[in-house]
Each structure stands twice: as structure tokens, then as C-alpha cells.
Amino acid sequence: MQAALQTAWLAQRGSLVLWVPVLLGLGMGLYFALRDEPEPWQLGVVALAGLGLLGLSLRLGDLLAPLAFGAALVAGGLALAGARAHQIAAPVLEFRYYGPIQGRIVAIDRAASDVPRITLDRVVLDDVAPDRTPARVRLSLQGDQRWLQAVPGTVVILTGHLSPPAGPSEPGDFDFRRTAWFARLGAVGYTANPVLTLQPAPDGAALWLSRLRSTLSGHVQARIAGDPGGYAAAVMTGDRSGLSIAATYAMRDSNLYHLVSISGMHMGMLVAVVFGMVRGGVALVPWVALRISSKKVAASVALPVAAFYLALAGRDVATERAFVMVAVMLVAILLDRQALTLRSVAMAAVIVLLLRPESLINAGFQMSFAAVVALVAVFQAINRLPRIRHWAGKLALQAGLVVLSSLVAGLATAPFAAAQFNRVAHYGLPANLLAVPAMGLLVMPGAVAMAILGPLGLDRPAVWIVDIGARWILWVSEGVAALDGAVSAVISPPGVVLPLFTCGALVVVLWQGRARWAGLALPLVALALWVTVPRPALLVAETGALSGVMTAQGRALTKPTGDGYAATNWLENDGEVVDQATAAGRADLGAGLRRWAFDLGGVAVLQVSGQTALALVQGCDGADILIANVATGARPCLVLDPVRLRQTGAVAGFIGPDGLRLVTVAESSGQRLWARQSPEPLADLRQPGPLLAEGGAVLPSP
């Protein structure tokens, strides 16, 4: 047995480097999974332990050294993620603010409500000390703002509403506070008042790339009208503010949104076009082509072009990740190495994780590397097959590879897309087969031609080519999204599902030998956990104005409008594709006089809306739980009003043998840098009454 284990372990020696980003990411994942924030000294101890293990690995034998080195990577990943979270720390607004706001525009995009949105830095708030003022704030611009020249670098002043980044809509859901923390975004809000220019964008190096992006985006949208122009601007500059919400949703439901977000495909296509143009140009001069490597010249030109594209697109996480992967490939060409292997993918993953550890929990990171790893593994296997010599067979093979690449990428990213977005696009494969060729043959080559010929005033044919390609892609997305059954929702999985699935898939791809197939057990376990996960019988929004009760028809909501973000997330997490109004009409919850009453496992729940309705409630009117969107004061039952919910966050209730168990966002989130709510269970915050059980308050059934 020992000899067999030794043989199996030694068989991994040539591929152990592929596990470096996996183990580094494992440590980073452990940091993000912690319930409570480690102190800086604790992170230091972990870092020192990692260094000790690294030194120990140099003294151990061939069998134990990789284990010590792997443990050092895990410890290093945890310490690096913690150090990054502390290094970018910035103030977060601790209260709701209404008043004057001054700041410099650094980013422009579009909100979910389809209105323009600006991000400001150098923020000044009235009567707020500088050390408590957020480094950045983001505001949706409502009303008529036509006079505003929203150019990066412009200092503006306005009167608006700001609030801290919102917590999860239910315990265990996506936590926007964490995303905002790593973006140094300390407050979000809106204004319906005019935004005035206090100081125009200055000339000089400061934000010149942002201004160039804004200028180029405006130029493209002026030449190509409507959503095609917005799409072209998004592809060329990273500015998605010109793309309507309707077009955005259509591309998501058709599984084509990856064509909007600048990622590996865009960077790869750009590099391919530039690489091909330069190499072809060198080949046209035989004297030069015989004396220098056209491939290396093309790589030398394509690399700075890709770097400029990265800078122009704003160094978004997805774009940065794509550039690293392309740069590794081009450098491999310059060094006479194989350009696209699992080793180059592993190197790119290490660089991205070292630069931004928070990328690990980003859906774009997960889906991008899942697709690339799967594609490289499959095509490496195909390359080991016997060569096809007949031209008809080669042609059929090329056509088959196009379909295969879309299929492999779609299957590899499907679990991550379903888990992160609760959506499965059923016609993604035909949509990509129809749209991606237009991206590679029309949009990207046309964009390069526009960049080259635009300054000469000769870009009209290029504009026409980009316009045709963009219109075709949008037409495909709208047509596919409109098909019956184009998209379905899936229930939100437990947090352990994606790590289990990822680890199992990596074992299958990276491990050498027959034992790799044991990795298939982990995705099966993940799938079993996913399909059996219970959904809460009761959900209460942080405002106290909306509740959702699980019924035989699905989740019934207490009102058809308001708290739309929470309502949409609840329904998506339930695996439903319905709107809030439909869910509100599902069940009779005793609505009348702005009050709703329902029974959950023998526990009486009463929700009221407004002071008038609350004034008609005597005590708790016999309810065990009173939910209100206004402060209730002391009551002889468990009260969930805005005062308490600001401490606990949203609340979920699960029916069990002992009654209704309540879990809060504060309990599930713990004490992290980005989450500072009270972690006390509800039973510690209420009047005398129900039993207390581990994990939340339990209201006993009668």
C-alpha cells in the first residue's frame, strides 16, 4: 500500500505547479468564509506560520516537502486576503444622510433603474468629519440632468440622499457590503435635484484615460445610434452606460452578456486581430520575414496594445484578469514556449489572486477561469488524437471545434452562473454560435479599424462594420431571450456547494492517474446539497415593510410594490421567475387596513404598515411576532421594526420540530470589516417569551 501511494504521489510531480493557485485560493477562501474578522496580529501569526512551513519544505524529503509547501500556500493566501482587506480600508457612512454633496466624478455607468449613475471621490459632506467621510460614493441621477457634462475629473456639487451599502436581502445571500468595501465605496444613494458643475475637468495627466474613455464612448455613440452604439462603446471602451436595461436583460437571458463585459474573449480577439495584422504585414516583406521572427514581432506589438486596452477599459477586475492571461500567452511566445497550457493559466491565476485576492469570490473570476481551464484541458486531449489529413475531414473538424468550444465553455460556467445569478439560459449554445462569429469577424476588427482610421477621418466603413455586427448580436439576444423557456430560475445553493464543485472538478482536471475520477464524487455531493436545501418559510426585509411567506403556490409577498430589491432576490433565490406583483397576489394573507396576518407552524405573525395601522393594534393582537415598518415601542411579543432590524438586518424563519427558528443577517454575517451589525440572536433582544436555541430564536409550536 505504501509503495502504491508513493508511486501515485510521485506521478504528480510534473503537475504540482498547477495546484499553486488552487491552494493559494483555498487560503483566501478560508479568510472570506470566517465568521469573525481576525485581528492583525492573528494574520501576522498565520503569515509567519506560512513562512515557517515554506522553510520546512526545503528540508523535507520528496514526499513531505510538497505537503509543507501546500500548507504554506494556504496560510499565505489567508494572510494576503486579510492584509488586502485592511490595506484598502476606508470610512463607511454609518447613518442616512441628506444634504449637500461635493465630489469629483471618477466613473459613469447606468443603474438598475435605467438612469445614469456617477461615482465620486474626494467627497465632502456637510457636518461630517473628514475621517468619517467615505472615500467614494455612488449616486443615481434621477430627473432631468441634460445640462450635466458628466466627464471624469469634473467636480460637482448637489443635494442628495446617501446611505450605507445595503446588507444581504436575507441571511446567507450576496453581501453587497463586501463588494463595496473592496471598491472603497462607503455610501450609495440618489438625487432628484440638479447636479451642478463646480469645477470642470482639468487638463493634464489626472484621469486623462477616464476622460479619453468618456470622449471615445461619446464619439462611438454619436456615430452609431441607440443600443448598437451603446454596445459598441461598451466593447471598445468599457463604458456600459449607453446600453439600455432592456438590452442588458436580453443579453443575460440569452447567455450573451459575456460579450458586453470586457473579458478574455474581447482581449483575446483584440490581440488576435492585431497579432494577425502585424504578422501578415511582416510576411508581405520577404526580406524582413526571412530575417526576423514575425511571430515575436507580432507579440511585441500586441502586448502594449492589450495593456492600453486594459487601461482604457478602467482596470475592471474582469479586464485585468483577461490582460494577465493574454500577457502570459504573449510572453510565452517571446520566450519560445507553448502559449496556451494549463501552466500558463495557473500562472495567470496566481498573478490575479496576488493583485486582488477578492477576485476569488467574483463571479467573473470563477466563470472565466472555469471556461479557460475546461477549454485548455479538452483541446490538449484533442491534440493527442491522430491527425486528420483529408481536407473535408479538417473542415468538418474545424466546424465541430467551434461548436465544441461553446459547449465546453457553457457547461463549465453553467454551475457558477446558476449559483451566482439563479439563472439558467437554456438556449445559450445556439445564441453563442450565432453571435460570437459576428463579434470576432465584424465588431472587433471594425473597432481596431476605427481606432486606426478615425484620426484620419477614414473610419466610415469601419463604423458601418461595427454597426452591422452590434445590431446582429443584439437582434440574436432579443430573439433568443423572447423564446418560451429561454431562461429558468434555480434555487439558491448553500455556500459550500461551489467550493465542493470546484474542488471536485479540479481534481478531475489536474490530478494525474485513475484516482482523478474520484473527484466526481464532490460535484455529486454538491448537487445533492443544492437540490435539498430548505428555503425559509418567512422572510422579513430590513425595512420591516415587506414580508414573504412560503405557500404551496410559491412565496407570497405582502405587497406588490416597494422593497423591490429584496422581493426580486427572494423570488430568484426560491428559484422562481415571477414579478413582485404576481407573488403578492398568490395568497390571501388577511390583507386589510394595511395589515396582514398569517400562521407559520402554529406561530401567529402580524405585519402592519404605517402609524395608522399600528395604532389599531392592541398589544400584539394575539400575535407571536409583530412586523412593522415604523417603530412600535415595547410590545408583549417579538417585535421586528426598523429600530431592531437596523441592528439585526433581514430575518429568515425556518419551520422545524420545535417551531419557528429565526436567523438574522447579523448572525450569518458575523463581525467582519464590512459587516458591523449586532450579532446577538433575536431572543436576546425581545421581551420575555420563547425558548432560545443555538442558531437563532425558536418560537415553540402550541
The mean per-residue pLDDT over the stretch 246-266 comes to 79
In 3D space, the residue among 593, 599, 589 whose CA is nearest the CA of residue 616 turns out to be 593
Q: Using pLDDT thresholds of 50, 70 and 90, give the confidence band for residue 99.
A: very high
Distance, C-alpha 88 to centroid of its chain: 19
Q: Report residue 280: phi and psi, to 5°.
A: -65, -40
Question: Which residues touch 61 (CB under 8 Å, ≥6 apart)?
Answer: none
- Sort residue 575 into left (φ over 0), alpha (ψ -120 to 50) or beta: left
The pairing of strands 97-110 and 625-628 is unpaired
- Reported as a single tens digit per residue, the pLDDT across 316-372 is 666 777 788 788 888 888 887 766 678 878 888 898 899 889 989 888 888 888 888
244, 227 in Cβ contact below 8 A?
yes
Find the helix packing angle between 521-531 and 497-510, rounded to 10°.
Answer: 160
Instruction: Considering the domain delimited by 97-206, tell me its CATH architecture.
Output: Beta Barrel (2.40)
- Kindly report the CA angle at 603 between 602 and 606, in degrees rounded to 5? 135
| Long-range interactions of 43-52: CB distance < 8 A, separation 24+ | 43/78, 43/79, 43/82, 43/83, 43/86, 44/79, 46/75, 46/78, 46/79, 46/82, 47/75, 47/76, 47/79, 47/83, 49/75, 50/74, 50/75, 50/76, 50/79
**Least confident among 5-9, 96-100, 174-178, 600-604:** 5-9
Given a contact cutoff of 8 angstroms between Cβ atoms, the answer to whether 600 and 653 are in contact is yes
| Strand duo 487-489 + 538-540: pairing | unpaired
| pLDDT of 292 strictly over 90 | no
Per DSSP, what are the bridge partners of residue 102? 124, 157
CB 166 within 8 A of CB 176: yes
Q: What is the C-alpha to C-alpha distance for residues 510 and 11, in angstroms, rounded to an integer? A: 12
Q: Identify the pLDDT of residue 9.
A: 64
Q: Say what percent of the chain tops pLDDT 70.
A: 88
Q: Is 464 helix (H, G, I), strand (E, B) or coil?
A: helix
Averaged pLDDT of the chain: 82
pLDDT at 702: 35
Radius of gyration of the chain (CA): 28
The pLDDT tens digits of the residues spanning 418-447 come to: 888 888 888 888 888 888 888 878 888 888
- With 0-12 / 13-18 / 19 or more C-beta atoms within 10 angstroms meaning exposed / middle / buried, residue 311 is middle
Residue 695 pLDDT class (50, 70, 90 cuts): very low
Strands 136-141 and 155-163: unpaired
Beta bridge partners of 695: none
Closest CA to 425 of 362, 482, 495: 482
**Concatenated DSSP letters for 106-130?**
EEEEE-TTSSEEEEEEEEEETT--G
What's the 3-state SS for 234-282?
HHHHCCCCCCCHHHHHHHHHCCCHHHCCCCHHHHHHHHHHHHHHHHHHH
Q: Give the per-residue pLDDT at 310.
A: 80
Pairing mode of beta strands 97-110, 155-163: antiparallel
Contact call for residues 163 and 189 (beta carbons, < 8 A): yes
What number is the average pLDDT over the span 646-673? 87
- With vertex at residue 54, the alpha carbon angle to CA 53 and CA 55, rounded to the nearest 5 degrees, is 90
Nearest alpha carbon to residue 282 among 272, 273, 292:
292
Task: Identify the bridge partners of residue 137 per DSSP, sorted by sequence position.
Answer: 120, 187
Ordered by start, the domain boundaries in the chain are: 2-87, 97-206, 214-489, 497-531, 538-699
Residue 401: pLDDT over 60: yes
3-state secondary structure of 628: strand
Select the highest-mean-pLDDT range: 213-217, 546-550, 578-582.
546-550
Strand blocks (E) in 58-207: 97-110, 116-125, 136-141, 155-163, 185-191, 196-199
Element (H, E) at 463: helix 460-481
CA dist., res. 501 & res. 76, Å (int): 23
25's grid cell: 485560493
Query: pLDDT band at 698, cuts 50/70/90?
Result: very low
Provide, rounded to the nearest whole percent, the portion of the chain with pLDDT above 90. 24
* Cα–Cα distance, 491 to 269 (Å, whole number): 35
How many other C-beta atoms are found inside a 10 Å radius of the C-beta of residue 134?
Answer: 26
Q: Rounded mean pLDDT of 233-250?
A: 81
List C-alpha distances in Å: 156 to 115, 137, 197, 392, 651: 18, 13, 4, 63, 38
Which H or E run contains 342? helix 342-355
pLDDT at 275: 84
163-199: pLDDT as tens digits: 999 889 999 898 999 999 999 999 999 999 889 988 8
Using CA atoms, how far apart are residues 239 and 230, in angstroms rounded to an integer?
8
Q: What is the pLDDT of residue 500?
A: 93
